[in-house]
Structure 1
Amino acid sequence: MVVEALTNVRRHAPRATRVEVTLTPAVGDRLTAHPVAPTLEIQVINDAGGAPATALRARRQHAGHGGRGLPSLGARVQATGGILTYGPYDGGWQVRAVLPQARPLPPETT
């Protein structure tokens, strides 16, 4: 998720002067179905928002390349039981995922 979000900053917000990545463990979240389940919140924020479409990006989208990063990421996050949100944020852009934390495996008995 972090790699995808940072790639999007590089491609779509080249004028960003600040990018903030935070990882926050929590118990429950208003976005999850299980309010007491341990979760991990991952947030990537930049201060430039999205850039206007460029000729190169328009050609790539017309050729069937690009433009599927965030929807595809959303599907992968959802497959883990998590939730992905993204959009304008305080003059910039935010990508935020809330993921369920993996439960430790029980100790093996022999």
Structure 2
Amino acid sequence: MHVNHDADAGAAPEINFDDFLKVDIRIGTIVEAEPYPEARKPAFKLKIDFGPAIGVKKSSAQIVDRYALDALPGRQVAAVVNFPPRQIGKYMSEVLTLGFADADGAVILFAPDRPVPDGSRLF
């Protein structure tokens, strides 16, 4: 699956609201961040707490250009929690942490502008 990160690209094909609801996007708090030197593209290994209903999930995130490892724990992020786990090198990523490319193409994490309960779902 190729995703276009280009800000000048047009909108994706139209979908209906039921299709949107199939994508389960939740807020979680990063509880652990580790380097991932074996990754093909520079990345960090994250453990994200999505609250009691979903729990702590693992994610590989290509965010090394804009984030210091020690600044990540405690930060809330948004992630898709209902994709099947995906093998990223030797690491099994359980959720897709969401971000946007900045003007230089580096990933900026997507997060609420105020704290919300872990596990809150986007609607």
TM-score, normalization: structure 1? 0.26
Which is greater in Rg?
Answer: 1
Q: TM-score, normalised by structure 2?
A: 0.24
Q: Per residue, is there more helix in 1 or in 2?
A: 1
